[in-house]
Amino acid sequence: MVKGGEYCAVMTMTDESVSAERIHAVKDDLAAAFRIAAMHGFNEGVDNHFSAVHPARDDWFFLNRYGPYWSEITTDDIITVDFDGNIVEGEGQWDVTAFMIHRGCHRAHPHARVVFHTHQPYATALSITKTGLDTRLSQNATHFHNRVGRLPYGGLASGEEEGTRIGSAISEGQIAVLLDNHGVMIIGEDVPQAWFRLYFFERAAQVQVLAQSTGDELVRMTDGVAQQAQAFFDSEVHAPGALFAAERRREELLRR
């Protein structure tokens, strides 16, 4: 991937109503999400990227600096970037495609507080198929029923136009976008929710690919049943936090 965006850090102007502890907590969760994703094999070398809107500024966002392997990312590897590409806090450089994609998403959709983009294998495999994720094939897939967008491949997001196009692919109510021939993008209100969605998207994609590989006719649930299952997922508001906490404990144990 092309690298870019190396700037001298300047002092961050933070809203006094947002505590330093809250800002650090978001960065800490984001850094942990990278290590957890690496633990599951969702990363691709040192590429791909996660971001989160700064709690004090809607025009700033946290992004992983280019270079570290995901399993070694800490809060020191999370930089704060503004919409002009300036690094307002932290050291390092951003990847061009990372900045363009995540700025495009956060600038177009303020509700997209957290955006994860990966080339994880099963989701990416489905991005190459006409069907994409069939949300009536498995229980896990129902979480995404009528909530997945698609966007034709437009080449590497090395410029503002492609980043804006990708950002515009997020429609109201969508929590995932399959980027054709490319990968997946997940949207969440916070890091635990985004992780929950990323994890279950890959699990649903894996089951679908395995089922399709049998060559047998697939059994689909009705639309009504899929909606009912989705409503149950939505009612389990504690589930994302519980899963993320468990993943953090497991990752910490494996690092010892």
Give the model confidence (pLDDT) of 75-117 as tens digits. 999 999 999 999 999 999 999 999 999 999 999 988 899 999 9
Residues 208 and 133 sit within 8 Å (Cβ to Cβ) = yes
Phi, psi for residue 145 in degrees, rounded to 5: -60, 125
Assess whether pLDDT exceeds 90 at residue 21.
yes
Residue 199 forms part of a structural domain: yes
45's CB contacts (< 8 A; 6+ apart) are 69
Q: Which residue has the tokens 């589930």?
A: 239
Assess whether pLDDT exceeds 70 at residue 239.
yes
| 23-52 per-position pLDDT tens digit | 999 999 999 999 999 999 999 999 999 999
| Average pLDDT over the chain, rounded to an integer | 92
User: Which contiguous run of DSSP H or E holds residue 209?
Assistant: helix 191-213
Q: In this structure, what CATH number is given to the domain that contains residue 169?
A: 3.40.225.10
Q: What is the pLDDT of residue 155?
A: 85
Residue 256 forms part of a structural domain: no
DSSP class per residue in 6-75: E---------TTS-HHHHHHHHHHHHHHHHHHHHTT--BTTB-EEEEEETTEEEEEEEEPSSS-GGG--G
Q: What is the pLDDT of residue 160?
A: 87
Q: Which domain holds residue 180?
A: 3-250
Phi, psi for residue 197 in degrees, rounded to 5: -70, -40
**Confidence band, pLDDT 50/70/90 cuts, at residue 188:** very high
User: Which contiguous run of DSSP H or E holds residue 177?
Assistant: strand 176-179
Region 242-256: mean pLDDT is: 95
Phi, psi for residue 173 in degrees, rounded to 5: 90, -10
Residue 138 forms part of a structural domain: yes
Assess whether pLDDT exceeds 60 at residue 11.
no
Domain total for the chain?
A: 1
Q: Beta strands 114-118 and 49-54: pairing type?
A: antiparallel
Residue 255 forms part of a structural domain: no
Assess whether pLDDT exceeds 70 at residue 8.
no
The pTM score is 0.92
Assess whether pLDDT exceeds 60 at residue 10.
no
Assess whether pLDDT exceeds 80 at residue 12.
no
Residue 99 forms part of a structural domain: yes
Residues 29 and 192 sit within 8 Å (Cβ to Cβ) = yes
Assess whether pLDDT exceeds 90 at residue 141.
yes
Ranking 76-85, 167-176, 197-206, 224-233 by mean pLDDT, the lowest is 167-176
Q: What is the pLDDT of residue 159?
A: 83
Q: What is the pLDDT of residue 207?
A: 98
